[in-house]
């Protein structure tokens, strides 16, 4: 009996398969949720510009048809800014790892949010620098063991959602690969948002995070570790700061409108032919 063809396959650059992700990596689930969201909205991802920096997550765009950029670690938002200034009508989506966008790319992130650049940033937070072997990263929880912190991470971790809300982002949400329905719903909202949208997706990296932090390469172990720490925003609202420590709050943090930063708001593009 022939296998049913996945309807989302039409968006995939088949010549690039087999993909590079490890078995059980969350990147495939994120890509699936994104394509499902696009399909349900009837927006063709090959009409967008999709950008990845460097890292495992940054490979996601490579498997998509259309205009994709895969290049420099931490510089996705600089590229996105250039594209939006030149072609404001182009939908731009970024897939970035937590290291890519919160560490080396942190300054670009703050200022893109402050300007309300009209892009969607999907951050796969796998709590480590996965591609380079599992080093500690800005979003590695405190006390957790990684390849470079064998006695536990001595630093506090970083809340990227709080950061971009404070910087001025107009749509910010956190979801997890373990909640595929909610993830897809969130990405659908984020895709239709005008202005700076960031969706943090808690994602399992069994190969490096699981192996060092949890002493297991089993994807289910890392997924369970994440999901056991997740609470909804409604649950979090009833807890004290101490009770919320070590938990990941899922849900929407902001959703509002304000003037966006793109070509037409910066330059007079009335007579620019390429922006028609
Ligand atoms: C300018 C620069 N600095 C460092 C590196 C090395 N490097 C490549 S991938 C990577 C880690 C990526 O981690 P993250 O962004 O969290 O993505 P993940 O692989 O975890 O999805 C690093 C540090 C690089 N390629 N370029």
pLDDT in tens, 141-161: 999 999 999 999 999 999 999
| Percent of the chain clearing pLDDT 70 (strictly above) | 95
> 98: Cβ below 6 Å to ligand 1?
yes
Give the pLDDT score at 268.
53
> 136: Cβ below 6 Å to ligand 1?
no
Please give the number of the atom of ligand 1 that sits closest to the Cα of 205: 20
Report DSSP letters for 165-192, one per residue: HHHT-SEEEEEETT-HHHHHHHHHHHHH
Say whether pLDDT at 246 is over 90. Answer: yes
Q: Is residue 217 part of a domain?
A: yes
Report whether 169 contacts 199 (CB < 8 A): no
> 100: Cβ below 6 Å to ligand 1?
yes
> 97: Cβ below 6 Å to ligand 1?
yes
206: CATH = 3.40.50.970
Q: In this structure, which residue's CA is closest to atom 16 in ligand 1?
A: 99
Q: In this structure, which residue's CA is closest to atom 17 in ligand 1?
A: 97
| Sheet strands (E) in 143-247 | 171-176, 197-202, 230-232
Number of independent structural domains in the chain: 1
Q: Is residue 269 part of a domain?
A: no
CA 56–ligand 1 middle distance (angstroms)? 8
Give the pLDDT score at 4.
78
The H-or-E segment that residue 249 falls in is: strand 248-255
Q: Is residue 257 part of a domain?
A: no
Say whether pLDDT at 191 is over 90. Answer: yes
> 160: Cβ below 6 Å to ligand 1?
no
Q: pLDDT for 28-53, tens place per residue?
A: 999 999 999 999 999 999 999 999 99
Domain that holds residue 229: 29-131+141-251
> 61: Cβ below 6 Å to ligand 1?
no
CA distances (Å), origin 21, targets 57, 192, 206, 250: 9, 28, 11, 25
Burial code of 106-118, b = ≥16 C-beta within 10 A, e = fewer? bebbbbbbebbbb
Q: pLDDT for 53-94, tens place per residue?
A: 999 999 999 999 999 998 899 999 999 999 999 999 999 999
Instruction: Tell me the average pLDDT across 165-182.
Output: 98
Q: Is residue 37 part of a domain?
A: yes
Q: In this structure, which residue's CA is closest to atom 26 in ligand 1?
A: 73
> 57: Cβ below 6 Å to ligand 1?
yes
Ligand 1, pocket-test mutation among 61, 121, 132, most atoms within 8 A of CB: 132
Q: Is residue 75 part of a domain?
A: yes
Q: Is residue 33 part of a domain?
A: yes
CA 165–ligand 1 middle distance (angstroms)? 24
Say whether pLDDT at 261 is over 90. Answer: no
Give the pLDDT score at 3.
78
Q: Is residue 13 part of a domain?
A: no
Q: What is the CA radius of gyration of the chain?
A: 18
Q: Is residue 264 part of a domain?
A: no
Q: What is the mean pLDDT of the chain?
A: 94
């Amino acid at each position: 009996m022939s296998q049913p063809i996945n309807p989302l396959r039409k968006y995939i650059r088949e010549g690039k398969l087999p993909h590079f992700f490890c078995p059980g990596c969350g990147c495939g689930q994120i890509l699936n949720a994104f394509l499902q969201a696009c399909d349900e909205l009837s927006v063709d991802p090959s009409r967008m510009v999709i950008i990845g920096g460097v890292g495992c997550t940054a490979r996601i765009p490579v498997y998509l048809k259309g205009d994709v950029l895969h290049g420099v670690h931490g510089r996705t938002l600089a590229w996105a800014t250039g594209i939006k200034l030149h072609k404001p009508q182009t939908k731009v989506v970024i897939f970035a790892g937590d290291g890519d966008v919160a560490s080396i790319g942190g300054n670009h992130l703050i200022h893109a949010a402050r300007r309300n650049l009209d892009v969607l940033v999907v951050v796969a937070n796998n709590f480590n620098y996965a591609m380079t072997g599992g080093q500690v990263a800005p979003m590695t929880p405190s006390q957790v063991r990684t390849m470079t912190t064998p006695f536990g991470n001595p630093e506090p971790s970083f809340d990227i959602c709080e950061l971009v809300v404070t910087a001025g982002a107009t749509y910010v949400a956190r979801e997890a690969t373990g909640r595929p329905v909610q993830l897809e719903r969130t990405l659908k909202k984020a895709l239709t948002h005008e202005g700076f949208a960031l969706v943090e997706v808690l994602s399992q990296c069994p190969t490096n995070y699981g192996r060092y932090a949890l002493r297991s390469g089993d994807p289910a172990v890392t997924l369970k570790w994440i999901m056991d720490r997740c609470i909804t925003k409604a649950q979090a609202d009833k807890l004290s700061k101490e009770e919320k420590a070590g938990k990941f709050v899922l849900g929407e943090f902001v959703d509002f409108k304000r003037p966006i930063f793109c070509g037409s708001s910066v330059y007079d593009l009335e007579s620019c032919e390429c922006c028609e």
